Amino acid sequence: MGEILNQLGGLALGSVPTMVMFLTLVVAYGFLVRRPLDAVLAERRARTLGAVEQAHGAIAAAEAKTTEYEDGLRKAKAEVYAAREARLKQWAAERDVALAEVRATTGAKVQAAKTEIEMSVTTARKQIDGMSVELSEQILRAVMPAGTRPEAAQ
């Protein structure tokens, strides 16, 4: 058993330089590779998260702009509809005024025509009355002999 321990002691003593080299290699890996790699990964993560946050911010800004544009569009449509309604009301009012003027003018013309017709009727009646007496005298002269006429008796 003593021999085994001597052999183990020799092996342990022979492995000391390997252990020192291994520890040196681990420390060198930590300084030369691991720390720069961790720094690059942290920077990459920060940039990625920053880009994601920036994208979320851009999306929120775009949604706000979209809402603003929709509100503007809604207001513009309302203004257009209001202007259209005002224009339609104005046209209706102008039409009503024009119709009232035409009705008044037409009413005056109708009244003048009625007056003219009444005057024509009165004149025609006077002419008919005047002609009826003359016509009846002509008929009497033509139908009755000269001696039997009522004029001759008078």
Which pLDDT score is estimated for 132? 84
Mean pLDDT of 79-106: 96
pLDDT band, very low/low/confident/very high, at 152 (cuts 50, 70, 90): very low
CA distances in angstroms from 125 to 120, 129, 132, listed in the order given = 8, 6, 10
